[in-house]
């Protein structure tokens, strides 16, 4: 899937999640692109999880408890019946547990910094906070340009 195809395919789902949880859809799309390698990860392609959300916590309106541990992963990840549920669950998670990041979503640079330096990512799992911040910001900018052209 090309980047334009990714944006075209998931833009409506990001907009719906953004409207439902008062977040800007560009950063939602950016995080989905970053976490799923533009929709090419196994979690995205096979299990409809575009955000790499782990299967901790209790089921909710969007995640019904499905779990999967793809490949050699020791972590359980959420499995969704459709990608729209992944977008809604991600936006719900941010609004409930990372409200400052959600509030900053109209400002990609501020959002990227807030989410990268929050508990959302874990350096214990090998995540690099500064690389994450830069990646989310760069992808947000590329998506905004694509949408506005």
Question: Would you state the pLDDT for residue 95?
Answer: 98
Q: Report the distance separating Cα 135 and Cα 31, nearest Å.
A: 9
Question: Would you state the pLDDT for residue 63?
Answer: 97
Question: Would you state the pLDDT for residue 8?
Answer: 96
pTM score of the predicted model: 0.94
Question: Would you state the pLDDT for residue 45?
Answer: 96
Question: Would you state the pLDDT for residue 62?
Answer: 97
Question: Would you state the pLDDT for residue 71?
Answer: 77
Question: Would you state the pLDDT for residue 70?
Answer: 83
Low-confidence residues of the chain: pLDDT under 50:
none
Q: Report the distance separating Cα 79 and Cα 95, nearest Å.
A: 20
Ordered domains of the chain (ranges, CATH): 3-148 (1.10.530.10)
């Amino acid at each position: 899937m090309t980047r334009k195809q990714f944006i075209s395919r998931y833009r409506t789902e990001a907009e719906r999640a953004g409207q439902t949880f008062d977040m800007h859809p560009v950063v939602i799309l950016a995080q989905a692109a970053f976490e799923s390698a533009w929709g090419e990860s196994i979690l995205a392609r096979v299990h409809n999880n575009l955000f790499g959300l782990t299967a901790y916590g209790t089921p909710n309106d969007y995640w019904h408890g499905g779990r999967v541990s793809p490949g050699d992963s020791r972590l359980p990840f959420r499995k969704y019946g459709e990608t729209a549920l992944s977008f809604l669950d991600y936006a719900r998670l941010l609004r409930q547990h990372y409200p400052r990041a959600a509030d900053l979503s109209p400002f990609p640079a501020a959002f990227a910094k807030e989410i990268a330096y929050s508990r959302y990512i874990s350096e214990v799992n090998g995540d690099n906070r500064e690389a994450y911040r830069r990646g989310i910001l760069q992808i947000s900018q590329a998506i905004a340009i694509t949408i506005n052209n």
